[in-house]
Structure 1
Amino acid sequence: MPNTLQPSLAQKPQLKALPPLSLYIHFPWCEKKCPYCDFNSHQIKSEGDGKRTQGFDEARYIRALITDLETEIPRTWGRQVHSIFIGGGTPSLLSPEGMNELLSAIRARVNLEPDCEITMEANPGSVETEKFAAFAKSGINRVSLGIQSFQDAQLKALGRIHNGAEAKKAIEIALKHFKLVNLDLMYGLPNQSLEAAKADIDTALSFKTPHLSFYNLTLEPNTYFANFPPKLPTEDEIDAIFEQNLTLLKEAGYRRYEVSAYAKKDQECKHNLNYWRFGDYIGIGAGAHGKISFPDKITRQVRERHPETYMQSIENTGHALIESKEISTKDLPFEFMLNALRLTDGVETNTFSERTGLPLHVISNNLDEASKKGLLDTNPSRLRPTEQGLRYLNNLQELFL
C-alpha cells in the first residue's frame, strides 16, 4: 500500500499540553499458564504433591517496582496520575501486606488524583474474602475478574484453575468489597454452541456488574493453542455468537464503547480510556511498556521481560529499561489511530493534534480514503469508525500505516 501521509510529517511534533498520565504495574506470576495466553506471565512453582508454594519473592519484587517507579519520576515530574492498573499474571496472588506496601510507596512518590481509579486483575481461583477486604482497605477500588466462562467443560478446555461455581463465588465476594467490578469473558471457545454462549452471557448479566469485557478467543503465536489448536467454531458461528452477545448486552443496558468493552452509563474504565485516547502511562514491572510525552516528542519504553532478569537489572543498575526511544513523526498517526479507532465513539477531531502534536492535514488523504470505503464516519468533528469500520478494524487502521 503506498504511503499517502503528507510531506509535513518531516516536522517535529509540538504538543501544547501534555495528556493525562496513568500508571501500569505488571505482576508477572500466575498459578498456571493458560494455553491461549501470550501475556508475560510465568507459572509459579509447586511442591511435588501438587501443593502450591509462593514461588516468588514478593518483598524483592516490590522493592524493584518502587525503584523502577523512582526512575520515571524525573520524566513525569509534577504530573498527576489519574489511574493505576495492576495487571498480570495474577496480581491477586500478592499478599494484602505487600499490596498495601506497594500502594503506600506509590502515594509517597507521585501525585494521585483524589478519585484515582485503582484496578487490580484477579483470577477466581485466588479470590478470598479476607484478602479482598484487605485489598479494598489498601486502596484498590476496581477489580477485573478473569472469568472467561461459567461452564466447567469450557474452563477445563481453556486450562483455567477454577470451575463455574468458584467463578460465581468470586464475583459475589468482589461485589461485597468493590463497587466497580469488571468480568472478563471469552467467546468462540472450543466447540462452543450458540446456546452455550448465551448461557455464559445470561449468567454474567445476572450479577449486574457495571462493566463487562468480551473477547473472541484467538490463537496467538508462541502459545500452546497455536501449536496444538483446539476445534473452534466456524467464522459464521462466531459471528452469530457475537451478534447474539451484542443484542443481549444492549437489552441489559450495557453500551459497547470499545471493541471488546461494555459498560453501564458512566462506568467505563478510565484507565483503558486513557490508553485508547493516546494518553500517557508509566509502565513498571517485568516486561512493562510505557508511553511518555514531552512538548517536542513522544517516547516509549520497554522493561526487561523475565522477572529474575528484571529484578537483577534493577538491583545492579538501578533501572530495567531495555528500550527507550522516540516515536518517529511518520509513525505517530498510525499509533494514534491504532488506539482511537477502537472506541465506538472515536475521539473529537482536535484530539489528534492535541495528542500527537501534528496538524490534522498530515492524514487528510488517509481520512478521505477511509471515508470513501465506508470505514470512517464523515462527521468532520469526530474521528469515528462506522459499524463497518469496527467490523473490519484492522483494514481501517492499516490505512494510516
Structure 2
Amino acid sequence: MQPLPPLSLATHSLPPLSLYLHIPWCVRKCPYCDFNSHKAGNSLPEAEYVAAVLEDLQQSLPLVQGRVLHSIFLGGGTPSLFSPTAIGDLLDAAEQHIGFANDIEITMEANPGTFEQDKFRDYRAAGINRLSIGIQSFSELHLQQLGRIHGAREALSAVDMARSAGFDNINLDLMHGLPQQTPIDAEQDLRTAIELGPQHISWYQLTIEPNTEFYSRPPTLPVDDALADIQQAGETLLGAHGYQQYEVSAYAQTNRQSRHNLNYWRFGDYLGLGAGAHGKITQPRQQRILRLNKTRLPDHYLDANKSFTAQQKAIAAEDLPLEFMMNVLRLVEGVDSNLWPARTGLPLHILNPMLQSLRNQKLLLDDNQRLATTALGQRYLNEVLATFM
C-alpha cells in the first residue's frame, strides 16, 4: 500500500454513539470464557462499583462531543448479579449526563441461573428493554461440560419469566461445535430455541481461546466435517423459520437486529465504562480515532489512586483498512462504500487495488457502491481480511 494521506475527518458527521457497561463478576468462571470476568465472592461491592462507574462516566463526558446514546449494552460477567436499583442508577446517570435517543435500545446480558420474576420485572422498569440470555445449550450433558450454573429446565423457564416480566425483545445465545456434540444434537438445540420464539438468536461455534481452562485442558471437539454439517444445517433451519443471518453469528427476525452490535460493525463510536471495558471514539478536531481500554482488575478499577484508563491510543492510518474491514465485512449485506471516507477520513481510492483483487477472486461483490463479501468471501473471511493487513 502507498503512503496514506492525512486523515480528513469532518466535524459535522460524527458517528453514532453507543455505551458499553461492563459488570465483571460471575457466579463462577466458565472453562471456555476468555472475557474479563471474575468469580464473585460471598458479597459483591455493588455500591462501590456503581460509584466508580459513575465517576468513570464523569471523566468520559468530553468524549461524547454533543451526541446522545443510541444504544447501551450491559455485559459481563453477569450483569444480572447486580440489583435493579444499581442498574437503574447507572442508566439514570447515563441519561442525565449524556442523553438518550427516543428509540434507544438498552440490552442486558442475563444468566438463566440468576432469573427471578420480580427482579427482572424491576430491570424492565429501570429501563432495560432487551434481554440477551446466555443459554449456550439445552442439553444437560453439554451444559455440565461447559460449566454452566443452570440446567435445561432453568433455560426454558428463563424465557417464560422474561416475557412475563414485560420483555418483548429477547436474544438467546447458543453455541455449537461443543464437546461430543453431533449434528443432531446441535440441530435439536436450535429447534428448541426457535420454538421459544425469541426475536434474535446469536449462534456461534465454540472456539478454544488462550488463558481459559479449555486451553490448558482441551476437550475433544467435533471434526471439521461435522462442524461444516452443523453450520450448513443450522443456517438452513434458521432461515426456514424467519431468522435471517445479518452478521457472522447473528440471526434475527425482521427489523430485530441488535442495533448496538450494528453500530460496532458499522464502525460507529462507543464509550466503554467499567473494569476491562473497551471504547472507540472519533475526534475530528484532533483528526484521530482513539481506542481506549479500562483497567481490567476490579480491585484496581475500584482503587481511587489508580486511573480508570489503562491504555489510550490513536489508530494509525495504515491500520485503518484492517480495523474498518474486520468490522463491516462481518455484516452479510456489508456497507455503502461512502461509509469508508465518512468513518475513517481517508479516500476510497487507496483501497482500490485490494478491493479489485478480492473482486477478481469472487470474494467481494463486484459493486463499486458497496463493500460486502460474496457467500464465498464470508466462508473465507479471515483470508479476505488478511488482504488489508
State TM-score, norm by structure 2. 0.97
1:378 to 2:366 alignment: yes
Paired residue for 2:290?
A: 299
Q: Structure 1 residue 33 and structure 2 residue 29: aligned?
A: yes
In the alignment, what sits opposite 2:192?
Answer: 203
1:305 partner letter: R
Match of 1:21 among 3, 14, 17: 17
Kindly state the Cα deviation for residue 375 of structure 1 after the two structures are TM-superposed. 1.2
1:172-193 Cα offsets, whole Å, 9 max, x none, are: 1112221110000000000101
Summarize deviations over 1:221-244 as a string: whole Å, max 9, x none: 111101111111001100100101
What is the rounded CA distance, in whole Å, between the counterparts of 1:126 and 1:361 in structure 2?
A: 51
Q: How does 1:149-188 map to 2 (within 5 A)?
A: 149-176=137-164, 177-188=166-177
In structure 2, distance between residues paired with 1:267 and 1:75? 29
Aligned residues: 385
- Offset, 1:14: 2.4
Contact 1:15 1:294 survives alignment (8 Å): no
Deviations 1:52-78 (A, max 9, x none): x33x20000000001101111112131
**Structure 1 outlier segments of 4+, above 4 Å:** none
SS at match of 2:121: helix
Q: For the residues of structure 2 that align with 1:174 and 1:235, how far apart are their CA atoms?
A: 36
1:66 equivalent to 2:54? Answer yes
1:271 matched to 2:267: no
| 1:311 matched to 2:302 | yes
Shift, 1:370, TM fit:
1.3
- C-alpha offsets along residues 88-136 of structure 1, whole Å, 9 cap, x if unaligned? 0000000111111111122111111111100000010011100000000
User: Aligned ranges for residues 204-223 of structure 1 at < 5 Å?
Assistant: 204-223=193-212
**1:271 aligned partner, one-letter code:** H
Q: Which deviations, in whole Å up to 9, do the C-alpha atoms of 1:343-365 show, x marking residues without a partner?
A: 00000010111111110011111
Match among 214, 239, 251 for residue 225 of structure 1? 214
**Distance in structure 1 (CA, Å) of the matches to 2:206 and 2:47:** 35
Greater shift, 174-183 or 232-241, is seen at 174-183
Task: Report the equivalent of 1:6.
Answer: 2
Residues 338, 397 of structure 1: 8 Å contact kept: yes
- Write the distance in 2 (CA, Å) between the matches of 1:175 and 1:369: 49
Q: CA deviation at 1:43?
A: 0.6
8 Å Cα contact 1:27/1:90 also seen in 2: yes
1:79-90 alignment to 2 at 5 Å? 79-90=67-78
Gaps of 5+ in 2: none
Equivalent in the alignment of 1:280 = 269
Where 1:316 maps in the other structure, the secondary structure is coil
Q: Which range moves more in the overlay, 67-76 or 32-41?
A: 67-76
Shift of 1:397: 0.9
Gaps of 5+ in 1: 46-52
Deviations 1:267-299 (A, max 9, x none): 000000000000000001001110000112111
Matched residue of 1:331: which SS? helix
- Determine the C-alpha separation between the residues in 2 that align with 1:96 and 1:293: 32
- Contact kept, 8 Å, 1:25 with 1:284, in 2: the verdict is yes
The amino acid of 1:33's aligned partner reads: K
CA-atom RMSD, angstroms? 1.0
Contact preservation (8 Å) 2:64, 2:98: no
Residue 309 of structure 1: how far off its partner (Å): 0.5
Instruction: Specify the code of the residue in structure 1 equivalent to 2:86.
Output: G
Q: 2:312 aligns with which of 304, 307, 324?
A: 324
> Which protein has greater RCO, CA pairs closer than 8 Å, 6+ apart?
1
| Cα drift, residue 374 of structure 1 | 1.7
- Equivalent position amino acid for 2:14 in 1: L
- Name the TM-score, length of structure 1 as normaliser: 0.94
Question: Is contact 1:23–1:83 with CA below 8 Å preserved after alignment?
Answer: yes
Rounded Cα–Cα distance in structure 2 between residues aligned with 1:13 and 1:36: 42
Deviation at 1:325, TM superposition (A): 1.2
**Equivalent residue of 2:80, what SS?**
helix
**Could you tell me whether the CA contact under 8 Å between 2:32 and 2:146 is conserved in 1?**
yes
Are residues 105 and 14 of structure 1, via their aligned partners in 2, closer, same or farther at CA, if it must alter by over 3 Å? closer
- Once residues 180 and 359 of structure 1 are traced to their aligned partners in structure 2, the CA distance between those partners, rounded to angstroms, is 39
Sequence identity percentage: 48
| Match for residue 114 of structure 2 among 114, 126, 139 | 126
CA distance in 1: counterparts of 2:57 and 2:187, whole angstroms: 43
8 Å Cα contact 2:9/2:343 also seen in 1: no
Look up the equivalent residue of 2:85 and give its one-letter code: E
- Of 236, 244, 254, the residue aligned with 2:225 is 236
Matches for 1:69-148 after TM superposition, within 5 Å: 69-148=57-136
**What is the distance in 1 between the residues matched to 2:313 and 2:214?**
33
CA displacement at 1:379 relative to structure 2: 1.2
Give the distance between the partners of 1:154 and 1:175, measured in 2 at CA.
Answer: 26
Q: Whole-Å Cα distance in 1 between the matches of residues 328 and 291 of structure 2?
A: 18
Q: What's the counterpart of residue 324 of structure 2? A: 336
- Contact 1:30-1:90 at 8 Å conserved across structures: yes
Matched-pair contact (CA < 8 Å) for 1:80–1:110: yes
